């Protein structure tokens, strides 16, 4: 199994945090966002832990030129799953179809495409007979992960027949036709077929505006009677902006006990930790109340402050403050501030 993760977007709705750190590499609960996505995919596959499960062989990250440090971190994400990691560049914003085709060397055999701008939770072994089709997913060549939404007019949705097989797509339907939103995770039994359809878009210069879209390739595959089914995820967690990201972070900490962590290398003086929280190595707490739903990355310091429902990156200093629903970047300083705050890397509010 190969995984392709397009992640070249600018993450503009999450600025200022994405001005210096690519959105998929923003950390919370001890991992970068893209690591949480890979972990959930691995859970849905079983990741080769027994005979019925699927091993991840290669992971391709389609990105801009993020720099050597970021690329090394991505390769390490793949290695942690026993997979070979690869960096592919999308130098121009030419759409979702073009982004996937940038990873053409991995478009063979079984392939999962996962866009790195959303989080989800799923059932274990989702691709092993747990799709929504009445017939076995052994007959399906494509599985599209979906989630029921209250406002389908804001999303792309799938249209299914009575057996659960997909027979169409609709982008932002203004009249109700389906509430099964496409969340950006796709499985292809034969990545070579997808590769051919994407290449066909490029060769025929079939665009919407300036972009080559994955949906057009999927539509062409449907017309060729390739079998599509949907697989509903348990939850779909938006990380589009600061508030959505904090809500997703809090939800993950609440629902996944394995993410609760307080390092033994934390210095605690006259302070209280209200779980669930993630507190990394080298954190110093003095006269502080931390939690619930807080992530503190390495070597951060909190003194005479209260912090809840917040994400704090490494080597940050917080003093004499009461913060909630806040995001603080790497090596930031916040003093004498009460309420919500969102500041990017190397910033100060004093």
pLDDT at 138: 52
Domain 2-243 has CATH 3.90.550.10: yes
Extract long-range pairs of 337-345: CB within 8 Å, 24+ residues apart.
Answer: 342/16, 342/17, 342/242, 343/16, 344/15, 344/16, 344/17, 344/19, 344/20, 345/17, 345/19, 345/20, 345/21, 345/313
How many C-beta atoms lie closer than 10 Å to residue 136's C-beta? Answer: 10
What residues contact 91, with CB distance under 8 A and at least 6 apart? 64, 65
Radius of gyration from C-alpha coordinates of the chain: 21
Backbone angles phi, psi at 250, to 5 degrees: -65, -40
Domain spans of the chain, in order of start: 2-243, 261-349
- pTM (2 decimals)? 0.87
What residues contact 101, with CB distance under 8 A and at least 6 apart? 107, 195, 198, 199, 202, 212
How many C-beta atoms lie closer than 10 Å to residue 350's C-beta? Answer: 10
Extract long-range pairs of 330-333: CB within 8 Å, 24+ residues apart.
Answer: 330/20, 330/21
pLDDT at 51: 42
Which residue bears the tokens 């099964």? 180
- Strands 289-290 and 272-273, by their bridges, are parallel
Backbone angles phi, psi at 199, to 5 degrees: -65, -35
Residue range 261-349 forms a domain whose CATH class is mainly beta
Instruction: Examine domains 2-243 and 261-349 and report if their fold is the same.
Output: no
Structure tokens at 96: 């979702």
Alpha helices in the chain (DSSP H): 33-45, 68-79, 96-101, 191-203, 214-223, 242-255
Burial class (CB in 10 A: 0-12, 13-18, 19+), 52: exposed
Contact 5, 23 (CB under 8 A): no
Which residue bears the tokens 């913060």? 323
Contact 220, 204 (CB under 8 A): no
Structure tokens at 316: 């940050």
How many C-beta atoms lie closer than 10 Å to residue 124's C-beta? Answer: 11
Interior/surface letters 299-325, b for 16+ CB within 10 angstroms, e for the rest: bbbbbbbbbbbbbbbbbbbbbebebbb
Distance in angstroms (rounded) separating the CA atoms of residues 289 and 76? 34
pLDDT tens track, the chain, 350 positions? 999 999 866 667 778 877 778 788 888 988 888 998 998 888 777 654 444 457 889 999 998 888 888 899 899 989 988 899 999 999 888 999 999 999 999 999 999 999 887 788 876 566 654 455 444 445 578 999 888 888 888 888 888 887 778 888 888 888 888 888 888 899 999 999 999 999 999 999 998 888 999 999 999 999 998 989 888 888 888 777 888 889 989 988 998 888 889 999 999 999 999 999 999 999 999 999 999 999 999 999 999 999 999 999 999 999 999 999 999 999 999 999 999 999 999 999 98
């Amino acid at each position: 199994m190969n995984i392709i993760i397009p992640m070249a977007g600018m993450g503009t709705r999450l600025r200022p945090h994405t001005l210096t750190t690519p959105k998929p590499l923003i950390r919370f609960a001890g991992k970068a966002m893209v690591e949480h996505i890979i972990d959930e995919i691995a859970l849905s596959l079983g990741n080769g832990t027994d005979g019925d499960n699927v091993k991840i062989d290669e992971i391709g990250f389609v990105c801009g030129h993020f720099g050597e440090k970021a690329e090394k971190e991505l390769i390490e994400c793949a290695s942690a799953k026993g997979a070979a990691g690869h960096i592919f560049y999308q130098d121009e914003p030419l759409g979702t179809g073009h982004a996937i085709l940038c990873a053409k060397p991995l478009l063979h055999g079984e392939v999962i495409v996962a866009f790195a701008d959303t989080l989800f939770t799923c059932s274990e072994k989702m691709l092993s007979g747990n799709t929504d089709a009445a017939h076995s997913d052994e007959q399906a060549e494509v599985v599209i992960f979906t989630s029921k939404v209250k406002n389908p007019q804001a999303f792309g949705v799938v249209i299914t027949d009575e057996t659960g097989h997909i027979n169409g797509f609709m982008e932002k339907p203004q009249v109700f036709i389906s509430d099964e939103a496409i969340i950006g995770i796709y499985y292809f039994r034969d990545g070579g077929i997808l590769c051919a359809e994407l290449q066909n878009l490029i060769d025929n210069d079939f665009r919407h505006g300036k972009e080559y879209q994955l949906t057009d390739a999927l539509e062409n595959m449907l017309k060729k009677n390739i079998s599509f089914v949907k697989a509903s995820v348990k939850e779909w967690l938006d990380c589009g902006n600061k508030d959505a990201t904090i809500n997703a972070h809090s939800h993950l900490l609440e629902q996944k006990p394995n993410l609760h962590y307080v390092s033994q290398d934390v210095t605690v003086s006259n302070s209280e930790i209200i779980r669930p929280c993630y507190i990394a190595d080298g954190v110093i707490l003095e006269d502080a109340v931390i939690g619930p739903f807080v992530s503190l990355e390495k070597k951060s310091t909190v003194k005479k402050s209260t912090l809840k429902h917040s994400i704090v990156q490494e080597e940050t200093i917080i003093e004499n403050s009461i913060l909630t629903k806040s995001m603080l970047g790497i090596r930031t300083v916040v003093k004498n501030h009460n309420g919500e705050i969102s500041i990017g890397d190397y910033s100060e509010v004093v």
